[in-house]
């Protein structure tokens, strides 16, 4: 889920929200979910036979059939009319027929910030045997980031379309949504024409490249978290032009399921997934596909979403997925506008100006102020009824400024060789420097707060020429002792699905702001506005949970190169060794905390959760047996004998429970957990409850308070009992939450700490959950 600095009107988001094709399409793509067992239509040939039985007279199976799924989904996808859909829904073999939804896509310094430096110890042989599946918009295979000296894993079978596999890119396939009626911007190919997939893949596993940078910003050595690992590309996102003329990205759910299907069959080591949407488990077929991947030993790292600082917006919230929020780095980008005669410049954090600081002060030209001017006016730019007016006979070499709504004027201004542009806009969303604006001309964006200073300067200097200087953006280190915070754009929990109300999401936070990484040299740096930006570079700066996700993917792969642990054990290690954070959303913003590679290889204890544990958990919560069987593709599941328990526990690295409204109600919650010792020898851990700030509970009891282990793999069970009163302590949301509270198991000599947040909350539910 990404934010490219060239995209502003689209909220600079590449995180994909659910959307649907135009309503007047005759045929639409549907996912046909089959029941498990009791019929003869379970194979690919059976799917096609069933489809043939319901097709209209003028339809053929060859035209309607799209995919049959083996690993990720129980059923098939097809292009259907409404009457064909209705006939399928009446078949006893069919559980559900639903639209294939459209999901939208959601570092030289960032790995060092996470303490995974170039000097970190590495297991090069094991690392080069790991394969990451990047399900995204394709890849630019010609980048120097995607080379390797080590061969692919011995058991791996290279499968590359349109390009030749090499020692780095060991798989490359595309999934073309050919049944939909769009005007295609690109041909069927794995080549990336948006930059998103290339950026993501290079963050995970790009090889080391010296002297990387972005027009002098963030200069250094670019490399991924696991530079020796291999990449398998599964392209599911495409650029199209819709019927209304809008250029858009299409990432169809049926294609994504097929990509996961292939990734499971290919036996990748981890899936990196920077797409998604907010959804219930009932409707989220991709989430269930990831559970099937976990059954095959594959962990999925997924973006939390870019819905912004709103609660109940987190995406990819299934407990078997590692859900990643976006954090700020220890450096930020700052741009200044200097006004002649003023002591202090105007400073903004939502602009990237890659052009050198202007060599002198230049006159300001403004359409609004032009009525005051007495000299000859000359039209220098015009677009959609708007114009920029100059009071100078010779206009070349001035700083122009105008409203963002008139942004098309910038094309004309560039052609007229204006010196710079000051773009005025409404409310800014850059509370955490999360959204950046840049143009192919020296420029700065002033929101409604900052532009007031400019108008004050204008009024104060009516009798003389107003002059300004736009400075080049600088990268500024944060003050010593700065604690990581979450980006304003990053989606917040809790889960909008009542089945997942007692699972803390997101799980973890990772750098997602101002991330420099690989970029296709055939793609413009700012492809949306203005139209005449022809700059190309092999690196670009992007922001979003799309960029945070591959950081978590990379650290998980790094750990896997040393430890052949289960997906849940790897996820647990990343969570319990994370660094504490601060944010007004507390744990619903950042989960366990910020990724920290320092101790991830030696977490001491891990919380193991196996495939069957998730099935049992869903049964206890009252999930429908028939649906659950279809979701996971097994007729052996039977929830009818399981006692319903809406307070059921999952052996999760965090401890979360929603207590009912109204507020000011006493509560008592007991958590049951089991930890596994992952070290040889005898160890004793002491349990301690810590909290920062105000105490939001009456009492927390850990029983037993001490755990003794004598061998590798030994498990110990304990309980955590939390009591209190749900008094309103979260003014912004009129809610209750135990904030900044956690259980820490500390090894007796202090060398290892296992930290688990404890969150009890009471808050109004979401208005809707897709």
Active site residues: 136, 196, 546
Distance CA 350, CA 365 (A): 22
Report the C-alpha dihedral over residues 213, 218, 221, 227, rounded to 10 degrees.
-90
What is the side-by-side strand order in the sheet with 237-241?
183-184, 237-241, 247-251
CA nearest 483: which of 594, 607, 639? 594
In 376-462, alpha helices (H): 409-415, 451-460
Q: In Å, how far are 392, 552, 610, 676 from 713, measured between CA atoms?
A: 79, 25, 15, 6
Distance CA 527, CA 7 (A): 8
382: left (phi over 0), alpha (psi -120 to 50) or beta: beta
Q: Taken in order 56, 58, 61, 65, is the CA torsion positive or negative?
A: negative
178-202: burial string, b at 16+ Cβ within 10 Å, e else: ebbebeeebeebbbbbbbbbbbbbb
CB-count burial class (<10 Å; 0-12, 13-18, 19+) for 34: buried
C-alpha neighbours within 13 Å on the C-beta side of residue 179: 24
Instruction: Specify the DSSP element, H or E, that contains 612.
Output: helix 611-620
DSSP 217-247: EEEEEE--SSTTSEEEEEE-EEEEE-TTS-E
SS percent in the chain: helix, strand, coil, step 5: 20, 30, 50
Q: Residues 167, 147: contact at Cβ < 8 Å?
A: yes
Contact partners, residue 482, CB within 8 Å, separation at least 6: 330
Distance CA 303, CA 14 (A): 11
Which pair of tokens denotes residue 498? 């009542």
Q: Residues 138, 169: contact at Cβ < 8 Å?
A: no
Query: Long-range pairs for 528-531 at CB < 8 Å and ≥24 separation?
Result: 528/6, 528/7, 528/8, 528/9, 528/10, 529/6, 529/8, 529/9, 529/407, 529/408, 529/410, 529/439, 530/407, 530/408, 530/410, 530/411, 530/414, 530/439, 530/440, 531/411
Distance CA 57, CA 64 (A): 12
CA distance between the termini of the chain: 18
Instruction: Specify the DSSP element, H or E, that contains 737.
Output: strand 736-737
DSSP-derived 3-state class of residue 592: coil
623-662: burial string, b at 16+ Cβ within 10 Å, e else: beeebbbbbbbeeebebeebeeeeebbbbbbbbbbbbeee
């Amino acid at each position: 889920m990404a934010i490219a600095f060239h995209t502003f009107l689209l909220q600079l988001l590449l995180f994909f929200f659910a959307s649907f094709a135009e309503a007047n399409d005759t045929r639409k793509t549907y996912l046909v979910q089959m029941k498990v067992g009791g019929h003869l239509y379970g194979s690919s040939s059976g799917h096609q036979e069933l489809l043939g039985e319901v097709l209209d007279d003028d339809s053929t199976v060859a035209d309607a059939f799209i995919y049959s799924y083996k690993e990720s989904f129980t059923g098939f996808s097809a292009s259907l009319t409404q009457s064909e859909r209705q006939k399928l829904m009446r078949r006893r073999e069919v559980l559900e027929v639903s639209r294939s939804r459209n999901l939208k896509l959601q570092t030289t310094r960032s790995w060092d910030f996470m303490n995974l430096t170039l000097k970190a110890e590495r297991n090069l042989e094991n690392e080069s045997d790991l394969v990451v599946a990047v399900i995204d918009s394709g890849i630019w295979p010609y980048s120097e980031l995607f080379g390797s000296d080590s061969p692919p894993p011995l058991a791996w079978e290279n499968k590359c379309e349109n390009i030749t596999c090499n020692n780095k890119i060991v798989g490359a396939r595309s999934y073309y949504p050919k049944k939909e009626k769009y005007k295609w911007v690109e041909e069927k190919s794995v080549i990336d024409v948006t930059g998103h997939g290339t950026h993501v893949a290079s963050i995970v596993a790009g090889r080391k490249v010296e002297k990387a940078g972005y027009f002098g910003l963030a200069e250094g050595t670019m490399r991924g978290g696991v530079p020796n690992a291999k990449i398998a590309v599964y392209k599911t996102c495409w650029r199209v032009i819709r019927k209304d003329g809008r250029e858009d990205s299409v990432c169809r759910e049926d294609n994504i399921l097929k990509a996961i299907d292939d990734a499971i069959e290919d036996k990748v080591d981890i899936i990196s997934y920077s797409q998604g949407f907010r959804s219930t488990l009932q409707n989220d077929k991709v989430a269930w596909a990831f559970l099937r991947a976990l059954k095959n030993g594959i962990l999925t790292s997924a973006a939390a979403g870019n819905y912004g600082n709103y609660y109940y917006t987190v995406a990819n919230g299934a407990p078997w997925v590692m859900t990643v929020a976006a954090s700020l780095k220890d450096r930020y980008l700052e741009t200044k506008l200097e006004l002649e005669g003023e002591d202090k410049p105007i400073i903004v954090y939502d602009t990237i100006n890659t052009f050198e600081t202007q060599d002198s002060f230049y006159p300001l030209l403004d359409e609004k102020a032009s009525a005051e001017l007495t000299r000859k006016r000359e039209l220098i730019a015009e677009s959609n009824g708007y114009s920029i007016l100059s009071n100078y006979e010779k206009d070349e070499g001035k700083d122009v400024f105008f409203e963002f709504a008139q942004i098309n004027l910038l094309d004309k201004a560039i052609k007229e060789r204006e010196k710079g542009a000051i773009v005025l806009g409404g409310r800014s969303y850059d509370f955490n420097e999360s959204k950046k604006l840049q143009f192919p001309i020296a420029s700065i964006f002033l929101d409604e707060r900052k532009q007031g200073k400019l108008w004050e300067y204008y009024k104060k200097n009516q009798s003389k020429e107003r002059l300004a200087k736009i400075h080049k953006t600088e990268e500024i280190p944060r003050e010593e002792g700065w604690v990581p915070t979450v980006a304003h754009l990053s989606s917040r929990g809790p889960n909008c699905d009542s089945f997942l109300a007692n699972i803390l999401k997101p799980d973890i936070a990772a750098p997602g702001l101002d991330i420099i990484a690989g970029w296709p040299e055939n793609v413009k740096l700012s492809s949306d506005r203005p139209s005449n930006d022809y700059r190309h570079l092999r690196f670009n700066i992007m922001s979003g949970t799309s960029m945070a996700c591959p950081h978590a993917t990379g650290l998980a792969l790094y750990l896997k190169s040393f430890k052949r642990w289960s997906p849940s054990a790897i996820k647990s290690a990343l969570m319990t060794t994370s660094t504490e954070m601060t944010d007004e959303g507390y744990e619903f913003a950042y989960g366990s905390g910020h990724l920290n590679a320092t101790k991830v290889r030696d977490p001491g204890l891990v919380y193991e959760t196996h495939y069957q544990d998730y099935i049992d958990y869903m049964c206890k919560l009252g999930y429908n047996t028939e649906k659950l069987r279809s979701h996971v593709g097994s007729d052996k599941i039977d929830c009818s004998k399981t006692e319903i328990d809406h307070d059921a526990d999952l052996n999760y690295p965090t401890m979360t429970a929603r207590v009912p409204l109204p507020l000011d109600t006493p509560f008592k919650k007991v958590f049951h957990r089991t930890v596994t010792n992952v070290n040889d020898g005898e160890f004793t851990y002491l349990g301690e409850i810590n909290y920062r700030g105000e105490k939001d509970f009456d009492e927390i009891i850990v029983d037993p308070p001490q755990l003794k282990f004598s061998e590798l793999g030994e498990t110990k069970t304990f309980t955590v009992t939390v009591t209190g009163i749900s008094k309103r302590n979260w003014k912004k949301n009129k809610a209750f939450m135990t904030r900044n509270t956690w259980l820490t198991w500390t090894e007796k000599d202090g060398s290892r700490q296992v930290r688990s947040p404890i969150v009890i909350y009471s808050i109004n539910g979401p208005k809707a959950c897709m």
